[in-house]
Structure 1
Amino acid sequence: MERHRAALKNYQQILSFVFAVKEIKENPNILPNITIGFHIYDNYFDARMTYQNTLNLLSTWNRPVPNFSCGIQKKLVAVIGGLDSETSFHIINLLGPYKIPQVTYSFLQAGMNEQAWHPSIYQMMPNEAFQYRGIVLLLLYFHWIWVGIIAMDDDKGIHFMRTLTLMFNHNGVCVAFTERIPTMASVFDIVSLMRHTESMSILLNKTNVIVINAHIHTMFAMTGLINMATVADMSMAAISKVWIMTAEWDFTSHPSVAELDTQVFQGALSFAIHSKELLQFQHFLQILNPHYSERDGFIRGFWEQAFQCSLSNPNMDKENGEGCSGAEKLENLPGPFFEMRMTGQSYSIYNAIHATVHALHAMYSFGPHHMATEGGKRLELLKLQPWQLHSFLRGISFNNSGGEKVFFNRNGELTAGFDIINWVTLPNQSIVRVKVGGMDPQAPQGKELAVNEKIIKWHSRFNQVLPLALCNDNCHSGYSRKKKEGEPFCCYDCAPCPDGKISDQKDMNDCFLCPGEEYANKAHNKCLSKTITFLSYEEPLGITLAFFALSFALISTLVLGIFIKNQNTPIVRANNRNLTYSLLISLLLCFLCSFLFIGQPQTVTCPLRQIAFGISFSVAVSSVLAKTITVILAFIATKPGARIRKWVGKRLTNSLVLSCSFIQAAICTVWLCTDPPFPDLDMHSLAEEIVVECNEGSPILFHCVLGYMGFMAVVSFVVAFFARKLPSTFNEAKFITFSMLVFCSVWVSFLPAYLSTDGKYMVVVEIFSILASSAGLLGCIFAPKCYVIVLRPELNCKEQLTKRKK
């Protein structure tokens, strides 16, 4: 019975073979008047049995001796099989010298599918590289980047692991572990498998997604391991994973499924050779019974095993599971035992039969008209050799009964894709396959994979939430990956984005800067639009500065009015009226030029404000310098016999003011003609604001204007300082010294303050310096005089001015 059990696990494949032959026989357009025969052998996954069965095909009936023509000869045209690459390799070792076509429905090992190596093999499967590509695409689709790989400890398993690991590394997927399962060829391997049970439980805890090279040997061992784990009371959570299996596996074809807790594989995903539902095949299965064909040596054993009854004595009590009536229905069998829908492997066998027969039909159709002659006689059709079938198989192309086109590529591989199957287990241990997508290698890049995620049923452990397969938790937006030393690239820490940078997606490798017109929010996960800012009249700071500028301008005007009204008084006349008026007007302009710095910079105001500021201050400082020199000259001129008296007068002061102001005006003119100030946007000084400012154009000329003004201020201060001890009656130099000390202090403080501020506050610093220095000159020079003129008019007389200090 165990022999039957092993032989009948793929019984649907046998039925698909029989159905294809039946369909061909009933088609009068294919090989009319020619009878097709076939033999089905099971090698029980034994190499010796494979060689023996192949020799039987090459030999006469019941005498496995090839190359001898004796007895009734078999007319072998082609071989369909085998189920795995090892079987196909053993078969081709014997069929190769005869050049008999072998149409296999398994993936071949690397290099075996090359036509240059084995020109007699035709593969009813796509190239295995497409399946590897499909696995990678499926993992990337679900963002599974931390997965395990399980394969058999043989050449095919090693090749599978190496190929997948390399592809994973190139596509950003990390391998959590690789595990080779020992074969079960002997009892010692079973002991080895038991030793693997404990280590496997540790490995399985590393990830939720595991890729299995699911050919039949691997799954035999895997189910044995799971059964051992169950006996050892291993936690079901440890083995309830998302299993991704290759196209060789089919749950319903496995004889050990009855003893396996199928809930372990709930939600598993597997690749399958693309197939299409054939309604005629279902009808064929519905009418099948144990007496359908006497030549079917498998159906009785399958029937007894599937329905747990006996056909040898149908009169037994069927209720006790002992007798078979033969009227049982295959559609009543649970999924693990038999499926009414054609599986991918059965579909491949069905197409293999049709491909072989269509090639044979093309060869026979070609023969009578174009067949070469030998010795002047046409070759007989029945003497055509199997090797002549190759050219027709390579070029075969037909539509099967499902309406799908079948043809081989130049490497003898089927040009087709894969279906993606979701395995759904039911409480009665039944397993239902649900097609949830597909992989089309011929589709444009980026569109090869199609998945309907909504209909996928995951294992109950995941509560129908998409399982995660990550080495660690995702880095949220606002963080970036930071590599862990000594760990795979999928394992990382999460580092917060630095100031000014963001990450707006999960698991970003690096944070990035926002565009110039945007800035990073506090969470560093979004860019916000910057506000446009400038010193305006609508904000408190702008209003305050404008108020002070206007106030000082009015005070300057008031002082100028007082001096004009009292222009003939001794104190006004003694202080050089023209210089006084010039200084007051220039100070008035300095106060008023502050308004050019407030408000949005414009094309006109940007050049005008610096020029007005520079020239106005130059006139003011040169006037102060002229007043200081006038005081000194006036004191010297009062000495008896002084020759310098002729220099005291309007000509000297006017020349001094004009010449000093002219130099500043010349510098400003060069500035305007070469690289003048212009409106500009400062995107970078402030994180959250775009500052509308005046770009100074040439920084050299800008500093020349400030430097020249500072030079004159220092000269005025030095001259006034040395004249401070003159008699107090004439000593305006004391007030000038103090005023220039205030002026220089303000502008010395201005430079570091100006360079250390950003945005509109640079303008605030400049306005403050203008107001403070101008107010210092106005207050220190004119406050004492206004006090005497307005409040102490009795002191504003010639007698007071001519007094000498004792």
Structure 2
Amino acid sequence: MGIALTVVSLIGAVLSLSTVSTFLYHRETPVIKFSFLEFSKDGDLIIGGIFSLDSTQGTNNHGYHTFMQKISLMSRYFFSKSILFLELLFARAVIFTVEEINKNPTLLNGVTLGYRIYNGCGGDGPIRAAIEAATSGEKCSKRVQALIGHSSSGVSKNINLLVGVLDIPLISHLSTCACLSDKRIHPTFFRTVPSDQFQISALVQLMKHFGWQWVGIIHSAEVYASDGAAEFIKQGKVEGICVEYAISFDLYDIKNEQKVTEKLKASTSSVVLLYMSLTYMRALFKKVDTNNLPRKQWIGSEAWISQVDLASIGSKNVLHGAMGFFDCSFSPSNTTKLCTGGEDLRTISSAYTNTALRSVRNVYTAVYSIAHALNALLQCENGLNPTTGKHCVNNTDVQPKQVLEHLKLVDFTVLNGYKVSFDENGDTAAQYDLLNWQYKEGGSVNVITIGQYDSSLPEGHRFRFTPNTTIVWALNSTEPPKSVCRDACPAGSRKAVNKQAPVCCFDCFECPEGGINSSDCFLCTAEFWPNDKKDKCIPKPTEFLSFPEIMGTILTAFTCFGVFLSILIFIIFLVHKETPIVRANNSELSFLLLLSLKLCFLCSLTFIGRPSDWSCMLRHTAFGITFVLCISCVLGKTIVVLMAFRATLPSSNAMKWFGPTQQRLSVLAFTLIQVVICILWLTINPPFPNKNVRSFKDKIVLECALGSPIGFWAVLGYIGLLALLCFILAFLARKLPDSFNEAKFITFSMVIFCAVWIAFIPAYVSSPGKFTVAVEIFAILASTFGLLICIFVPKCYIIIFKPEQNSKNYVYAHYTTVMNQTDLLI
């Protein structure tokens, strides 16, 4: 601290010696007091301010020596155009705020604030004013404890590099350069104006909100704009925003405006960011023929966006979004009203009288920040500071370094709930009004606030649009303009980076079937399928043969009809059980066959409905056992026919070995073999419900997996073997007397049965999804109907329509060769 103070003192001494030598050299020149101090008031603690109050203050060069020729500011206050009214307003804001704080009994507890406001104008004026502010005062306690200023980022940077050596905090109200947030270089810098970093973030989020991924940038040829454009490109890249072009506009390049015009005409982006100062903005639209420009959605930086006078430059409706204030001046212009000199100052609205400016509020806030830091520093409880835990400090011992330490901790509220605090970079939260230019008839413009941006809010909630507010877009469109290099890839395709173009100008390639739109065409898992938009995977619909659907209903109806027909024939046979037709060929086998046929019809119902563990095991085993029972009965009847006629030969004793008991045992034995096969199948690897995702790409088929294919084909093979044996035996008995046609009917029924199941195999293998089950049910019903109709319907026909043939006399007349076989015939 002592070394730094010595360095600054030496600088001040050198400047003083320079001034003295100049004075001696020009001793004939009238003496002019050399000082940058404009306004001051003594107090227990001093706040300093540096503002460019007079832009005409200059230097006279006399060889190696210079000195400032300062003309009284106040003497020219109402007569010179060069007076910077806004800077004077900042100085007055400091004075007003200090007076307000001194009247506040709850702040600083009787310790008064004073101020020293310096005029930092001219080339090196701000630096000289800063040296004067840092070194003035009779003793250390009377030096400034903190400084407010400057309005320029570049000047603030230089001032902070100087006073930072002495740990004097500098709070700026208008310096927005993001470079000042680097605490490694500017550890003592604070500001109550948002950093350009926040403005860039807000602009990027604005582009993202409206889906503008392809934008152009025109920026002025100055560090402020160049750095801002570079930062926008950097942040935009993270959010997927591409910059088609970035043009630097130079005031002194005569060909620059032609370059801007050609680029705007050749560009495909609909949105253009104009990141430049007000001076450059005016020059751009004066030099460029706006009538020859394509209509764009202009997005502006805060440096010019609120300047309504730009509406008179260029063609109508060329700009959007601005805010401005009524102004008047003492010289005529195209955009302001000429003052007469007789105006009532209480009704005049000018840069000096407009205290509603955010920049004025920033000065007000800066003074209060220092006051709150000093208030926290001077607190004392039991000999210790409650904030830091260090020893208490008297107001006569306050050092700038201590003020710096407490500035980092300030957190208070002013101006209708506006919260003030500094982050680790010395920045305050950014609050912006989102403005929209809306032109009226005649070329005038309305400035509408359509929303706000607040960086202190959580991510995703920083934009708040004003309800019931109409937004005017380029060309009076009712929708936001579209600005993309390439439209989103269509459904079922993916985007691929084109190395020869920006990332937003991607190529599209078709995704493989089952893939959704993503960077790598993400393939849905087996049980999922892309939706219609192909932007997400949804569960596949499941399919199985059910009762409500048409196919299930039809098959169920046929099943019920088959059961009804079986019961009807059973009743007919039961009523006429004593007649020769029924008693012929073992009526017991006939009734057992009718029962098995009814069960065959009913087992088809187990194939309809959602598959489950029990239904899958039941459907195949019930089908296999009932069909074997059915074929065993038919086979028994066929053997009886053959044995009966063989028994008519001399010395034949065939019926003795295949009587009723043997017939029952044969049916039981044949059926038990199938039961054993089914038990082994269910024990080793039974059928189970399965989700078939392979047969169809866009749906899942609920089916009964076979478990063990060997078990399934063993069941079918055994049924086929019995059917083939029955067919062969019936075929051998086909030449029996015509009137006794039992063997012929059995032969015909076996032909139908075998034909159905032979055709079933390729149909079963090739049918997809639920049609596989439908084919199996159809085979069951067709073969069952074939047996029922071929074997029993002819007999029912005789019983009902030709009862004369169902008599003993008729039978005796036609079958005299077999009359003695009572077991067979009557």
TM-score of the pair, normalised by structure 1: 0.69
What SS does the corresponding residue of 1:342 show, helix, strand or coil? coil
1:89 paired residue number: 157
1:19 to 72, 83, 93: 93
1:483 correspondence with 2:495: yes
What SS does the corresponding residue of 2:181 show, helix, strand or coil? coil
- The separation in 2 between residues aligned to 1:40 and 1:745, in whole angstroms, is 113
1:304 paired residue number: 330
1:749 correspondence with 2:764: no
2:117 paired residue number: 38
Q: 1:222 to 1:726 in 2, by over 3 A?
A: same
- The separation in 2 between residues aligned to 1:796 and 1:511, in whole angstroms, is 80
1:654 to 664, 675, 678: 664
Deviations 1:521-541 (A, max 9, x none): 899999999999833599972
Aligned-partner residue type, residue 292 of structure 2: M
1:246-325 equivalences under 5 Å are 247-249=302-304, 251-252=306-307, 259=313, 263-267=317-321, 303-305=329-331, 324-325=340-341
Instruction: Note if contact 1:424-1:431 (Cα within 8 Å) is conserved in structure 2.
Output: yes
1:192 to 226, 233, 256: 256
1:105 paired residue number: 173
Bigger shift: residues 346-355 or 618-627:
346-355
Aligned-partner residue type, residue 103 of structure 1: I
1:220 correspondence with 2:246: no
Cα deviation, residue 353, structure 1: 3.9
1:746-785 equivalences under 5 Å are 746-754=756-764, 764-781=774-791
- The separation in 1 between residues aligned to 2:352 and 2:694, in whole angstroms, is 71
Cα deviation, residue 773, structure 1: 1.0
Q: Share of identical aligned residues, percent?
A: 27
1:504-519 equivalences under 5 Å are none
Q: 1:248 to 1:326 in 2, by over 3 A?
A: same
Cα deviation, residue 662, structure 1: 1.4
- The separation in 1 between residues aligned to 2:798 and 2:414, in whole angstroms, is 120
What SS does the corresponding residue of 2:183 show, helix, strand or coil? coil
Instruction: Note if contact 1:614-1:705 (Cα within 8 Å) is conserved in structure 2.
Output: yes
Deviations 1:380-417 (A, max 9, x none): 98997766643354344554455534333333222454
Cα deviation, residue 740, structure 1: 1.9
2:271 to 197, 209, 214: 209
2:577 paired residue number: 564
Bigger shift: residues 388-397 or 737-746:
388-397
Count of aligned pairs: 716
2:6 paired residue number: none
Instruction: Note if contact 2:181-2:426 (Cα within 8 Å) is conserved in structure 1.
Output: yes
1:65-464 equivalences under 5 Å are 78-106=146-174, 109=177, 112-152=180-220, 157=225, 159-171=227-239, 173-184=240-251, 187=252, 189-203=253-267, 206-214=268-276, 216=277, 219-230=278-289, 233-235=291-293, 238-245=294-301, 247-249=302-304, 251-252=306-307, 259=313, 263-267=317-321, 303-305=329-331, 324-327=340-343, 340=354, 342-356=356-370, 389-400=403-414, 402=416, 404-415=418-429, 417-424=431-438, 433-452=447-466, 454-459=468-473, 461-464=475-478
Cα deviation, residue 660, structure 1: 1.0
Cα deviation, residue 241, structure 1: 1.4
- The separation in 1 between residues aligned to 2:168 and 2:548, in whole angstroms, is 94
- The separation in 2 between residues aligned to 1:268 and 1:508, in whole angstroms, is 40
Q: 1:778 to 1:259 in 2, by over 3 A?
A: closer
Cα deviation, residue 545, structure 1: 1.3
- The separation in 1 between residues aligned to 2:210 and 2:172, in whole angstroms, is 33
- The separation in 2 between residues aligned to 1:309 and 1:223, in whole angstroms, is 13
Cα deviation, residue 549, structure 1: 1.3
- The separation in 2 between residues aligned to 1:7 and 1:712, in whole angstroms, is 120
Cα deviation, residue 633, structure 1: 5.3
Aligned-partner residue type, residue 209 of structure 1: V
Q: 1:53 to 1:178 in 2, by over 3 A?
A: same
1:582 correspondence with 2:592: yes
What SS does the corresponding residue of 1:266 show, helix, strand or coil? coil
Aligned-partner residue type, residue 128 of structure 2: L
Aligned-partner residue type, residue 115 of structure 2: I
Instruction: Note if contact 1:96-1:118 (Cα within 8 Å) is conserved in structure 2.
Output: yes
What SS does the corresponding residue of 2:236 show, helix, strand or coil? helix
Structure 1: give runs of 5+ residues left out of the alignment.
Answer: 44-48, 61-65, 271-281, 287-301, 311-318, 372-378
Greater RCO (CA < 8 Å, at least 6 residues apart): 1
Cα deviation, residue 621, structure 1: 0.9
Aligned-partner residue type, residue 566 of structure 1: T
2:131 paired residue number: 58
Cα deviation, residue 746, structure 1: 1.0
Q: 1:611 to 1:365 in 2, by over 3 A?
A: closer
1:717 to 724, 727, 739: 727
Aligned-partner residue type, residue 341 of structure 2: S
Instruction: Note if contact 2:282-2:313 (Cα within 8 Å) is conserved in structure 1.
Output: no
1:609-758 equivalences under 5 Å are 612-630=622-640, 647-668=657-678, 704-718=714-728, 720=730, 723=732, 735-754=745-764
Bigger shift: residues 394-403 or 113-122:
394-403
Cα deviation, residue 348, structure 1: 2.0
- The separation in 2 between residues aligned to 1:382 and 1:537, in whole angstroms, is 96
What SS does the corresponding residue of 2:115 show, helix, strand or coil? coil
Cα deviation, residue 182, structure 1: 3.5
- The separation in 2 between residues aligned to 1:228 and 1:601, in whole angstroms, is 80
Deviations 1:606-629 (A, max 9, x none): 876655543332111112333444
Q: 1:674 to 1:453 in 2, by over 3 A?
A: farther
Cα deviation, residue 743, structure 1: 0.5
Q: 1:724 to 1:678 in 2, by over 3 A?
A: same
2:34 paired residue number: none
What SS does the corresponding residue of 1:664 show, helix, strand or coil? helix
Instruction: Note if contact 1:626-1:653 (Cα within 8 Å) is conserved in structure 2.
Output: yes
- The separation in 1 between residues aligned to 2:197 and 2:475, in whole angstroms, is 32
Q: 1:704 to 1:135 in 2, by over 3 A?
A: farther
* Alignment RMSD (CA, Å): 5.8
Aligned-partner residue type, residue 289 of structure 2: T
1:553 paired residue number: 566
- The separation in 2 between residues aligned to 1:776 and 1:491, in whole angstroms, is 70
1:28 paired residue number: 102
What SS does the corresponding residue of 2:102 show, helix, strand or coil? coil
What SS does the corresponding residue of 2:116 show, helix, strand or coil? coil
What SS does the corresponding residue of 1:541 show, helix, strand or coil? helix
- The separation in 2 between residues aligned to 1:98 and 1:135, in whole angstroms, is 37
Q: 1:412 to 1:599 in 2, by over 3 A?
A: closer
